[in-house]
Structure 1
Amino acid sequence: MDIIVRKEGGMIAWHCALAVSVVVLGWWKPWKIGRRDRKLPPGPPTSFLLGNALQFPRLFPHHRFTEWAKEYGDIFSLKIFNETIVVLSSAEALRAILDKQGAVTGNRPKSHIIERTEGIYTVFGNMESHSWKSSRKAAHMLLTPDALKAHLHTQRPEWAQFLTDLLDSPDDLFTHIRRTSASIMTTIIYGRRCPEYANSPAERFFQGTHLLNKVVDAFTHPPIDLIPALQYVPTRWAKWKQLSNQTKAIRNALFTELLEECEARLASGRGLTGCFIENVIENKVELDMDRDEIKASGKVLMDGGTETTASLLQTFILAMINFPAVQKRAQEEIDRIIGGERVPNLDDFDKLPYLKAVIKEVHRYRPSFPLGMPHVTTQDVVYKEYVIPRGTIIFTNLWGMHRDPHKFDDPEAFNPERYLATKYGTKTDEDGADFRDNMHFGSGRRLCPGIEMGSRNLAINTMNMLWAFSFSKDETSPTGGIDLDSAYQKPGMVFSPLPFKCNVVVRDGKREQLIRDWHAAETALTAS
């Protein structure tokens, strides 16, 4: 009997312990949600379950992130429910975590809404995927120096038309920049020029991009990736699904049409242009790419090389009208090297150190991706005394690291001279060893393969514009007095200015005639 009692007592004790464990674990697991692990970098205080969700900024998070970096250091962490975010605000942290450990920090966080809208989209694809690997291999076919040089003849008509358009309708500067940026890319990728903006692939591209920027704005849709059940809400009750469907329809129609044009030329053997997609189709067996992957590769190159270039050129003009002394000095340098008796060519750019410094300062002052593109860790990463756990989303706060007063003199000033004093614009007593010129093009294994192409487009267009025109504020227009603080008011993947007006005046009659002669010659060559 005593044995039975002891056994029954033992069973009761075991069941009680199990019940207590269930209660404790049931309480402990939600208690941990929103809490910062002690091994994580510091950050703003968290709330029960929510973490830092209520503190996460609605617009332009790079401003808030930079303020937090001043308080918590060059690497800090946030908790959004059970999601961990780490923000890097120094070149040292970026180099150590993303560049040197790219094999385990090079993937992108999963995004249901991107997958739903875009299908195959290697910008957010994992490095292990076949689509990402084949897309990178294909991109290198186009983006080698020799391949880019072979496409210069297709870009010259765009550069010439851009200047002619500015002569004929300077009030449409914003649109001319968009047309030129898009047409350069459609010509190189699909062999299709866009000599007009209205109703062209260029206009449709920016319509689709505008919608895509809304789609990826985290505050236009519920936390789908955190609460997967939301994926099954009927479309009629989910505005984010309606927006996703609209965006998908516009972008899919555009990129399907451009692909089909290339396929038709190859099938007929007539009108071949040697463009990127023609080459990919001809080498699809070697590249091991199916039709959807080929379409996706063209789409990603268009996205990477069009809106970013347009945004930077628009920002460049904003800088020129807000800092006329900078514009004057750059024009004086151009006049010394090129003069007013011929149009510039790409080889001239290497002889213009001040203009190079201006472009670098534009990248620093108003980067197109202030927080870069997000990365995600595939295993635990150790940095200093911190452990960044597997599955952590990482942002690179380019805005903050280029506004560090310990690294940059007067970082809020637009001052190209800083890049004449030191290689990376840092203080003269800073070695700047962790910085690099292409930080705005990505990090680690996600470094953009189109660096050379994007840099060339910026070089020739900025040089041409300042050689040909002077730019100033148009105080008579509601958007003509815009400054670099109030110019950016829309969310999206790319930090780009709102449409604005400015005065665009050709510098003299000789330059005007040279532009028109150049455009006529290029038009004749294109027609032949």
Structure 2
Amino acid sequence: MDVFNHVPTFSDAGPFVLLPAIIYGIYFLTSFGSRERGLPPGPPTKPLIGNLDIFPTGHIHLQFLQWAKIYGDVFSLKLMNKTMIILNNPTLVKEIIDKRSLSSSNRPKSIILDKLIPHNMNLGAGRFANETWRVLRKSSAQLLNADNFRNFKDYQYAEATQLMWDLAQNPTEWYNHIHRYTTSFAMGIVYGKRSPSIYSSDMKEFFSTHHKFLHAMNIDTMPPVDLFPVLNWVPEYLVQWKKTVTDARISHEALYYRLLSTVRQRREEGRGNGCFLEQALENSEEWGLTSDELLMNLGAVLIQGSDTSSAAMQNLLLCLVAFPDAQAKAREEIDKVVGSERAPRWDDLVNLPYTMALVEEANRFRPVGPLGLPHEMVRDEVVDGFLYPKDAVVWINIYAIFHDERYFDKPNEFIPERFLKHPYGVMEAVLDDPARRANLFFGGGRRVCPGITFAKSSLELNLVNLVWAFNLLPSKDPITGCEVLPNLDDYSTGVTATPKPTPVRIELRSEKHMQVMTHQFATVAEVLAPYEQELSQEDAHLLKEARNF
């Protein structure tokens, strides 16, 4: 053979070419989905899928709690090639989320969310902690600080008074009345426009828009486009999920641009009431709110927090029904401080330690954000010898932290007294985690929820009102007549653990309480008036009838 004129062929190379390809293929198949060296421990993985086959589809936090008991204060999961790390104690939250916030302040990439709210204009879920996010964060902090809250305490009290009135008139609709209160209060402080009825046009549009938004984000009904990005390449006219997302985005923008326009018109006509968006318009240059798109999304993200507030209040009411001894102790305390000749006031709260402890215990017992919102690592970090790699998704396991048997006596029992013995409810005989803080429920780092003051005050005031005015009782079985306690484990799954509508009995304590409540409802009409300038004729008529004592 003429070796100088011979041209090598693939068959001549034979195993020398195939062997590296085979080795790489074997390595890929065996390593894809495997836990990389240095990661925190976790359940055994399977090739390709990692832990995808055992990842819970509902009540995720309960399974995470069980894994925390097995694998410790931090564990990891692999969802195909994605890494997920779960933090189960306050010290790790402080170290990773608070101290190293520059490395952990991103949110995981969400193709669907990017389509719903483009350009990173979402304070809670926007992916990057970039300049746009910082503008929204700074503006929210200015609006939601404790000093500004004082400007709205009378309005919040007035809305809470209507909630009591609504419950007295139609107690079976308690679930919707709470929704009305939290949403109307949010719309009032943000847009200066309240809704006196769950059936108000603004309220119905808000709930419709919010439902579309949640439906578009529901992992049970939408394709796993973040795991399989190729699905995003399919044209919109061929797939329903993209049409669903587009419809939700159009509804979202239409609602919040319209509300922004209402605020701008009211301000130009000299009818302002000091709402958040008026303040934002007045300070737009200083705060960097340089476009209507920023202003629109600022308002939207502020009002959407009402959903979490509703869930927390609904959970609190159900805890009162499920634990009558705790309700009775709170009522005894409230009666000593308030009596029956007047309604509760803001300044009563400081004199009600057991009742305030009951609020803390309800939040601990059934946190409405059991895992908070996920973070994403911007760069590699190593803590206690474990790797937190770039692009890993990090969850704060709030439920596990507040059900940790090392710190909480009988964590699965409802014991408000624990918060009278210790500010964080932990056992007196143990050395508490030094990083524990009161606002762990609200996240951490640069992503901590700025609306803490508003959320906490709503729970405290309305709890006192509820127990002062009503006996909160279980429903009765229509056949046996036996009382049926609410199932506190019956709640929707997702980022927010929302209790499902449950029948309860809400009964006025006395005619005297009703007389005081009626007087109070009439008195707050003057406070509510500045927020009722754009009421529909239907809503105006409804209020006129309600206030015609």
- TM-score range, shorter-chain basis? over 0.9
- In structure 1, the partner of 2:543 is none
Distance 1:256 1:480 in 2: 48
Compute the displacement of 1:273 (Å): 1.3
- In structure 2, the partner of 1:90 is 89
Is the Cα–Cα contact under 8 Å of residues 188 and 194 in structure 2 kept in the other structure?
A: yes
Compute the displacement of 1:21 (Å): 3.6
Is the Cα–Cα contact under 8 Å of residues 470 and 507 in structure 1 kept in the other structure?
A: yes
Q: 1:150 to 1:117 in 2, by over 3 A?
A: same
Is the Cα–Cα contact under 8 Å of residues 480 and 502 in structure 1 kept in the other structure?
A: no
Alignment of 1:327-406 (within 5 A): 327-406=327-406
Compute the displacement of 1:206 (Å): 3.0
Gaps of 5+ in 2: 531-549
- In structure 1, the partner of 2:499 is 497
Q: 1:477 to 1:87 in 2, by over 3 A?
A: farther
Q: SS of the counterpart of 2:83?
A: strand
- In structure 1, the partner of 2:513 is 511
What TM-score does the superposition give when structure 1 sets the normalisation length? Answer: 0.93
Alignment of 1:245-284 (within 5 A): 245-266=246-267, 268-284=268-284
Gaps of 5+ in 1: none
Choose 152-161 or 210-219, whichever is displaced more. 210-219
Cα displacement string for residues 75-94 of structure 1 (whole angstroms, at most 9, x for unaligned residues): 11111111000111222322
What letter is aligned with 2:139?
A
Distance 2:414 2:169 in 1: 31
Compute the displacement of 1:359 (Å): 0.8
1:308 aligns with 2:308: yes
- In structure 2, the partner of 1:109 is 108
Distance 2:209 2:383 in 1: 40
- In structure 2, the partner of 1:239 is 240
- In structure 2, the partner of 1:41 is 40
Q: SS of the counterpart of 1:382?
A: strand
Compute the displacement of 1:252 (Å): 2.6
- In structure 2, the partner of 1:523 is 525
What letter is aligned with 1:505?
E
Q: 1:141 to 1:477 in 2, by over 3 A?
A: farther
Compute the displacement of 1:239 (Å): 3.5
Compute the displacement of 1:459 (Å): 1.4
What letter is aligned with 2:495?
M
Is the Cα–Cα contact under 8 Å of residues 319 and 484 in structure 1 kept in the other structure?
A: no
Is the Cα–Cα contact under 8 Å of residues 370 and 495 in structure 2 kept in the other structure?
A: no
- In structure 1, the partner of 2:225 is 224
What letter is aligned with 1:507?
R
- In structure 2, the partner of 1:210 is 211
Compute the displacement of 1:356 (Å): 1.4
Compute the displacement of 1:199 (Å): 3.8
Q: SS of the counterpart of 1:219?
A: coil
Q: 1:42 to 1:527 in 2, by over 3 A?
A: closer
Choose 316-325 or 122-131, whichever is displaced more. 122-131
Choose 160-169 or 426-435, whichever is displaced more. 426-435
Distance 2:483 2:136 in 1: 42
Q: 1:288 to 1:408 in 2, by over 3 A?
A: same
Q: 1:95 to 1:117 in 2, by over 3 A?
A: same
Distance 2:308 2:469 in 1: 23
Is the Cα–Cα contact under 8 Å of residues 73 and 89 in structure 2 kept in the other structure?
A: yes
1:416 aligns with 2:416: yes
Distance 1:251 1:232 in 2: 24
Alignment of 1:291-302 (within 5 A): 291-302=292-303
What letter is aligned with 1:111?
S
Choose 385-394 or 220-229, whichever is displaced more. 220-229
Alignment of 1:122-161 (within 5 A): 122-161=123-162
What letter is aligned with 1:93?
L
Compute the displacement of 1:524 (Å): 3.8
Q: SS of the counterpart of 1:472?
A: strand
Cα displacement string for residues 89-122 of structure 1 (whole angstroms, at most 9, x for unaligned residues): 2223222221222221121111111111233322
Report the count of equivalent residues: 522
Is the Cα–Cα contact under 8 Å of residues 117 and 247 in structure 1 kept in the other structure?
A: yes
> Alpha carbon RMSD of aligned pairs, Å?
2.6
- In structure 1, the partner of 2:547 is none
Cα displacement string for residues 24-61 of structure 1 (whole angstroms, at most 9, x for unaligned residues): 33442343210001211111111111111111111111
Is the Cα–Cα contact under 8 Å of residues 154 and 527 in structure 2 kept in the other structure?
A: no
Q: 1:525 to 1:143 in 2, by over 3 A?
A: closer
Choose 66-75 or 230-239, whichever is displaced more. 230-239
Choose 110-119 or 171-180, whichever is displaced more. 110-119
Aligned match for 2:490, one of 487, 490, 493: 487
Cα displacement string for residues 308-337 of structure 1 (whole angstroms, at most 9, x for unaligned residues): 111111111110111000000011111112
Is the Cα–Cα contact under 8 Å of residues 378 and 390 in structure 1 kept in the other structure?
A: yes
Is the Cα–Cα contact under 8 Å of residues 477 and 501 in structure 1 kept in the other structure?
A: no
1:466 aligns with 2:467: yes
Is the Cα–Cα contact under 8 Å of residues 35 and 79 in structure 1 kept in the other structure?
A: yes
Choose 424-433 or 409-418, whichever is displaced more. 424-433
Compute the displacement of 1:374 (Å): 0.2
Q: 1:158 to 1:513 in 2, by over 3 A?
A: same
Distance 1:430 1:202 in 2: 48
Is the Cα–Cα contact under 8 Å of residues 475 and 481 in structure 1 kept in the other structure?
A: yes
Compute the displacement of 1:477 (Å): 6.4
Distance 1:299 1:482 in 2: 37
